[in-house]
Structures are given as C-alpha cells and as structure tokens.
Amino acid sequence: MTALLEVRNLSARVADTQILSNLSLSLPAGEVHAIMGPNGAGKSTLSHVLTGKPGYEVTGGEARLDDQDLLALEPEARASRGVFLSFQYPVEIPGVPALTFLRTALNAQKKARGEAEVSAPDFLKLVRAKAAGLKMDFDMLKRALNVGFSGGEKKRMEILQMAVLAPRLAILDETDSGLDIDALRIVAEGVNALRAPDRSMLVITHYQRLLDYIRPDRVHVLAGGRIVASGGPELALDLEREGYDRFVDLAA
C-alpha cells in the first residue's frame, strides 16, 4: 500500500541555486511527521514545491498524493485535492474580510471537486464552531484577513482555515515561530484536534518546542536539501541536545 504522500528523489532549484537534492519521504495516512533542520536546509522550499509556488523549478523526482502526480497540478488544483499549507508568514489581504476569503476558498474547492457550495448559514455555523475551539473572537473574522493581526492571531487564523477546509495533507511551516507559550498551546491543541485517520500532517519546525505539544509519529532531519536521518520522537530530543552540526556534516 502506498503512503498518502510519497516523495521520491525530489530535486528543485530557485534560479541557479539547487535547494532540494534527491529528497525522499513517505507519509502514511493518519500520521504526523516532523521535518526538522537548520536554517537554509530547504524546509520552506519543500513546502513551497509541494504546494506549487511559482518560482521553483523541479529538476527531478516526483511527489504523489494518493498515488496521483502532485507536481503537474496548478496550486489551486492541489488545494482542492486536499493539500493545505499553513504559511510561515501569512499574507495580509486588505479589504477582504477573513470570512469572505474563507468562504470563497471553501466554495472554490467544493466547486473544483464537483460538490455543492456551502450555504451562508451553514458556513457561519461551521466557522463559529471552529473559531470557538481556537478561542478566537468571531468579530475578528469580519476584519480584513490578517491586516493588523498579531503574530499569534495570524497563526490561529491559519489553523482555523485548516479546520474549515479539512485537508487530506496539512503542511505546517514554522507554525511555532512568533508565538508565545499560551498561543503555542492553543495552536497546538487546534492542530491535535484535527488529527484523523485519513489526514496526514507534515510539521516543519526549527525547534523541538512545538513537538512537546504536537507529538509526531516520525521525525526527519532535513539538511543540504535531503532527508539525512529519520527516527521516532526521541530524535527531536537528540537534536535539541546536540544541535544540527553532525547532520550538516552528514549532508556534506
């Protein structure tokens, strides 16, 4: 049986700089895997290549979601097949209320999947429930998306979008950056609530801290553009203690 996400020998570059080299990764359905690594290892690039951000050139290898070629699809087609990225730096969208944005996104995905659009009352009911779970003030959702939001509010908004869009594969890129300990706990609880047998998560982080709250099934070390070591949750603790140096040497 193939995993939900199967990455094989993936290589990618930006302009003339090779960033990913022969990266392989297998993420079974229902599991949460952490990707850890030093700055510049290619962690964010991996999230961008998987979601189809323009500006990256795939030079080799493949990525398959449910055994379907992911890399040939437009970003929006990947989204409607269930790929979600919680951005490291969520973008501000002036003049567009968060609710409007989210409803437009949900209906765009439903339309692409040939499902009926969600009605306004059903949508509001759904969002209210999810926002309450993340201890978010509902009035905040009437404001322009992320405009004037604090770092913690932006990250909560990402997780709220994830909860509403209910993806198959969630990629969380440095979701812990810029969060104080209370916000971190709330965000982590939100993520844990979304763990499900048919949903997989890729948690990208520089620090072990987040993994105290979101306990991964596997930990992978990304250095020099490829996975250089994999192990259980204890690997994260080793990294915290020993640093990345030994893995950077491995990659070289």
Among residues 48, 44, 28, which one has the least CA distance to residue 36? 44
CA–chain centroid gap for 228, Å, is 21
Size of the site for another protein (CB under 8 A): 32
Q: Which is nearer to another protein, 87 or 244 (CB)?
A: 87
Residue 106 — φ and ψ, nearest 5°? -60, -45
Q: Which is nearer to another protein, 29 or 165 (CB)?
A: 165
- Read off the tokens for 84: 């979600």
Q: Which is nearer to another protein, 42 or 90 (CB)?
A: 90
Q: Which is nearer to another protein, 96 or 237 (CB)?
A: 96
Q: Among residue numbers 61 through 120, which ones bind another protein (CB under 8 A)?
A: 74-76, 78-80, 84-85, 87, 90-91, 93-96, 100-102, 104-106, 108-109, 112
Q: How far is the CB of 85 from another protein (least distance, A)?
A: 5
Site string for another protein, 197-216 (x = CB under 8 A): --------------------
Site string for another protein, 135-154 (x = CB under 8 A): ---------x----------
Q: How far is the CB of 101 from another protein (least distance, A)?
A: 7
Q: Which is nearer to another protein, 101 or 207 (CB)?
A: 101
Q: Among residue numbers 25 through 54, which ones bind another protein (CB under 8 A)?
A: 51-54
The residue assigned the tokens 């290549």 is 49
Contact 169, 26 (CB under 8 A): no
**Alpha-carbon gap, residue 35 to 17, rounded angstroms:** 21
Q: Which is nearer to another protein, 112 or 193 (CB)?
A: 112
Q: How far is the CB of 72 from another protein (least distance, A)?
A: 15
Q: How far is the CB of 95 from another protein (least distance, A)?
A: 3
User: Which residues of this chain interact with another protein, rule CB under 8 A?
Assistant: 51-55, 74-76, 78-80, 84-85, 87, 90-91, 93-96, 100-102, 104-106, 108-109, 112, 144, 161, 165
